[in-house]
A and B are shown apart, each in its own frame.
Chain A
């Protein structure tokens, strides 16, 4: 299980990111309570603290009419985005990539903002965007031609540790890449 932890975390993060985005990007303004009750306000306070901001992201405001549901959605989101095997900074990069890929205006802007707030530079954001764009190209080429996987054993060597993992052990192939 431990070896799979980064991938479990990434997959759960993708799901939670998409769940927040679909609500935030849908025309659901009419569901936002004008005056959220005390229970919802308590959750809002946790959200503001987690994101270090004065407002509450729209994805959470939209579900505040049911404070119990809001609390559970927030609990899942907080867990998904908190530092764990993967860092919060890296998780925001993954969420940004997912949001760009799924064309989510809310998610794209929100997670780009979170990356910056957590110290990612413009160059770092551009790196994530570049990977997202390149793989949005390759995946569509592969799907259009119905290519079958043939690269799973070919990944170029890399000395850096897996995200959240220990440094790579000795490999049969040298780590340097052009």
Chain B
């Protein structure tokens, strides 16, 4: 038994914990295995490119170069906390781009706060994360407080729907989004006929959809991600549910049309953080380079790039290997030129001025319809 013990303890000691003076580590936390691995990889690759681009330009300060380290949180809050602890324990890490899922960002945010480490989330949209009073949390995307009301307003005003059914996948993100949608939609005088929950990973929604069909909604809003959306769309068609469908950024993925069948997915609406990177002039170069290297660009790759770029800029301005200094710089950063537009943070760490785009599925691709700017009074 002691033999085994010493074997394991020795392997601890020989693992590298050498602080390199000429290296600063930019951390990235995202789901790299498990059900959201594909999306997580997209974010990771975007952030990686930002670090590489920065290194090409030269040392970030003095003689110090940047190193990129990605850790997998497996879309699991417990793992997210473990990952956060790992980053904090490494003195070379000055900031972390992460996490991707709201549940993970939220769990880890307390740890980063206690460790005084900057956390920049590329895509966690749940509003509560920035309401916890953690000065270390930032995000470069809009929150569901913008996204959901935008969706609700579009449904009520643009599409003229008065009777909707709401579904959510009971995750931090999905339930939050659905609740915000419901609040705004009812405020606008609409009627929410039903609000049901499904479980991620579930396949059979026929009984549920049959129930929904019986109340005859004009539109169904789904707070969740694209695998379940695809199943819902297909099965709705099977039982003849003739409502329009709408979802949030979670369903905004090229695979949706592929999984559901192009003709079935036709006409589905989605809100997305910002506009399509293919349409943003400043992002073209990034998109071209990304696609040349990694293939199809992920929905959130550009956000990964911007989040990492902001962090790198804060490190550069801090000029030294000190987490508090980097944090101080993040807090006073103004008008950073991200590829998706200028980046500004409010006192809570939320991105200012990040708009939301409404898209409609046409011929297997999401087509941009309109932009909704955040209202200054929330």
A binds B: no
